[in-house]
Amino acid sequence: MDLKALIRDIPDFPKPGIVFRDITTLLRDREGLRYAIETFETKFRDANLTPDYVVGIESRGFLFGPTLAYQFNAGFVPVRKPGKLPAAVHSVEYDLEYGTDKVEMHQDALPQGSNVIIVDDLIATGGTAQATAELINKVGSQLLGFGFIVELTELGGREKLPHVPIITLVQY
Residue among 31, 97, 154, 159 flagged as catalytic: 97
Residue among 60, 80, 104, 151 flagged as catalytic: 60
Task: Measure Cα distances from 114 to 20, 75, 100, 155, 158 in Å.
Answer: 35, 11, 29, 31, 23
CATH of the domain at 66: 3.40.50.2020
Summarised one tens digit per residue, pLDDT across range 67-81 is: 999 999 999 999 999
The answer to the question of residue 143 being in a domain is yes
134 belongs to the catalytic site:
no
Summarised one tens digit per residue, pLDDT across range 36-90 is: 999 999 999 999 999 999 999 999 999 999 999 999 999 999 999 999 999 999 9
The answer to the question of residue 1 being in a domain is no
- pLDDT class of 11 with cuts at 50, 70, 90: very high
Residue-number span of the structural domain to which 55 is assigned:
49-171
Q: How many domains does the chain have?
A: 1
28 belongs to the catalytic site:
no
Measure the CA–CA gap between 151 and 123, rounded to whole angstroms. Answer: 5
